[in-house]
Amino acid sequence: MNDTSPAGGAASLDVSIASKDYHSASGRPLRALEGLRLTLPAGQAGAVVGPSGCGKTTLLRLIAGLDKDYFGTIVLPEHGRLGMVFQEPRLLPWRSVIDNIRVAAPQAPEDDIAALLDELGLAEHAAHFPRELSLGLARRVALARALAVKPDLLLLDEPLVSLDAALARDLREMIARLIDERRITTLIVTHDLREAIALGDRLFLLSARPAHVVATIDVPAPRRTLAKETAERLEAQARDALAAAHAGSQPGHP
Ligand SMILES: Nc1ncnc2c1ncn2[C@@H]1O[C@H](COP(=O)(O)OP(=O)(O)O)[C@@H](O)[C@H]1O
Ligand SMILES: [Mg+2]
């Protein structure tokens, strides 16, 4: 029915989902994804952009292997070790920040964990408990925890959502630096085009539900020094593609 496997050498993410339905006890099945294809080269960051409710989290859950109930094929990067940051940080409430990381990555050397905490500005919070952290800090801990396992694929679900503008910008820059320096193959889900252009080497634009990729746009490298005009041109191009897809899906439209 479906197949998730680490790639044999061709280290990229290759997703082809014929369909994903949710079944409720009553009523018709709800189709979340249909005919969705995307390919991400190794070491690149892909940004999945789509409207709320279109199926983005569903897609990440399939890629992460948390939901096997779909038709299609997902080929993961070599070794297939995953790091995932959910929309909610999901930290263990009875463990300190550093213990949350240790529990998730028991093999990680203490020096590596200390360096990660440092890099994410969490060193002074190592002994704090999740209830003592703001959402922005808790997201950073979730990110540190995902990175501590040295993932072959990092999955981030709306990492900046619900943060105020300044915190979102700080975390965005932190994420951009981390994925650039470490060259981790990363898939970031967002509903914000600017965020996608700031973080992604390749944009995957999704239709409304059932989601499929309506356009793939490569962001010119190096992404971090992208001229403002180029970013604006990409944003306009992406908006046009999304609008065209939306118009095409309206009943009565040719
Ligand atoms: N466990 C579930 N059971 C039934 N429907 C679901 C379930 N999870 C998500 N959905 C529905 O599937 C659609 C896509 O959801 P989701 O992937 O969370 O969207 P997004 O992350 O893009 O906002 C929505 O209509 C949502 O209500
Ligand atoms: Mg979601």
Q: How does pLDDT run across 164-210, given as a tens digit for each residue?
A: 888 899 999 999 998 888 889 999 999 899 899 999 999 999 999 99
pLDDT single digits (tens) 2-27: 666 655 444 489 999 999 999 987 77
- What is the pLDDT, as a whole number, of residue 11? 43
Which ligand has an atom closest to residue 55 CA?
Answer: 1
Q: What's the pLDDT tens digit per position in 110-127?
A: 999 999 999 999 999 999
Instruction: State the CB neighbour count (10 A cutoff) for residue 209.
Output: 19
Within-domain flag for 254: no
Residue-level pLDDT at 1:
60
Q: What is the pLDDT of residues 32-63, one digit of tens each?
A: 999 999 999 999 999 999 989 999 999 999 99
* For ion ligand 2, residues whose CB falls within 5 Å: 56-57
- Give the pLDDT score at 191: 87
Query: 242 and 162 share a domain?
Result: yes
| Ligand with minimal distance to 158 CA | 2
Q: What distance in Å separates the CA atoms of residue 64 and residue 84, rounded to the nearest whole number?
A: 8
- Whether residue 131 lies inside any domain: the answer is yes
Cα of 112 from ligand 1 centre, angstroms:
36
Confirm whether 200 is domain-assigned: yes
Is residue 87 domain-resident? no
Q: Among residues 112, 133, 150, which one ends one of the domains?
A: 150
Return the pLDDT at 66. Answer: 94
Q: What is the pLDDT of residue 79?
A: 78
Q: What is the 3-state secondary structure (H, E, C) of 82-124?
A: EEEECCCCCCCCCCCHHHHHHHHCCCCCHHHHHHHHHHCCCHH
Q: Which of 23, 28, 58 to mutate to test the pocket of ligand 1 (most atoms within 8 A of CB)?
A: 58
- Using CB distances shorter than 6 Å, the residues near ligand 1 are 22, 30, 32, 50, 52-58, 209
Q: Which of 101, 127, 150 is the last residue of a domain?
A: 150
Residue 209 CA to ligand 2 centre (angstroms): 12
- Pocket probe for ligand 1: among 49, 54, 157, the residue whose CB has the most ligand atoms within 8 Å is 54
Residues 75, 8 share a domain: yes
Ligand 1 atom 23, closest CA: 53
Structure confidence by residue, pLDDT tens digits, 228-248? 899 899 999 999 998 888 776
Pairwise CA distance, residues 112 & 148, whole Å: 8
Q: How far is the CA of 132 from the centre of ligand 1 (A)?
A: 30
Q: Which of 150, 177, 195 is the last residue of a domain?
A: 150
Q: What is the pLDDT of residue 179?
A: 86
Write down the pLDDT at residue 77.
84
49 Cα–ligand 2 center, Å: 11
Structural domain of residue 214, as residue ranges? 2-81+153-248
pLDDT average, residue stretch 80-91: 89
Atom of ligand 1 nearest to the CA of 87: 21
Identity at 61, one-letter amino acid code:
R
Strands 13-22 and 30-40: antiparallel
Number of domains the chain is built from: 2
- Mean per-residue pLDDT over the chain, rounded: 90
Whether residues 164 and 146 share a domain: the answer is: no
CA-nearest residue, atom 14 of ligand 1:
55
How much is the pTM? 0.91
Please indicate, yes or no, whether residues 123 and 170 belong to a single structural domain of this protein. Answer: no
Helix axis angle, 135-148 to 165-182, nearest 10°: 10
Ligand approaching nearest to the C-alpha of 20 = 1
Distance between CA atoms of residues 46 and 186, nearest Å: 6
Whether the predicted pLDDT of 151 surpasses 80: yes
Are both 138 and 206 inside the same structural domain? no
pLDDT bin (cut points 50, 70, 90) of residue 87 is confident
- pLDDT value, residue 251: 54
Looking from the CA of residue 50, the nearest atom of ligand 1 is 22
Residue 231 lies in a domain: yes
- The domain that holds 166 is classified in CATH as 3.40.50.300
Is 237 in the same domain as 211?
yes
Residue 86 lies in a domain: no
Check whether residue 213 and residue 110 sit in a common domain: no
Q: What span, in angstroms and rounded, lies between the C-alpha atoms of 162 and 135?
A: 8
- Cα distance between residue 56 and residue 226, in whole Å: 26
My answer on whether 140 and 191 are in the same domain is no
Return the pLDDT at 254. Answer: 43
Whether residues 125 and 179 share a domain: the answer is: no
User: Do 129 and 227 belong to one domain?
Assistant: no
Q: Does 20 map to a domain?
A: yes
Instruction: For residues 50 and 191, give the distance between their C-alpha atoms in angstroms, rounded to a whole number.
Output: 5
Is 253 domain-assigned?
A: no
Are 36 and 128 members of one domain? no
Residues 18 and 141 in one domain: no
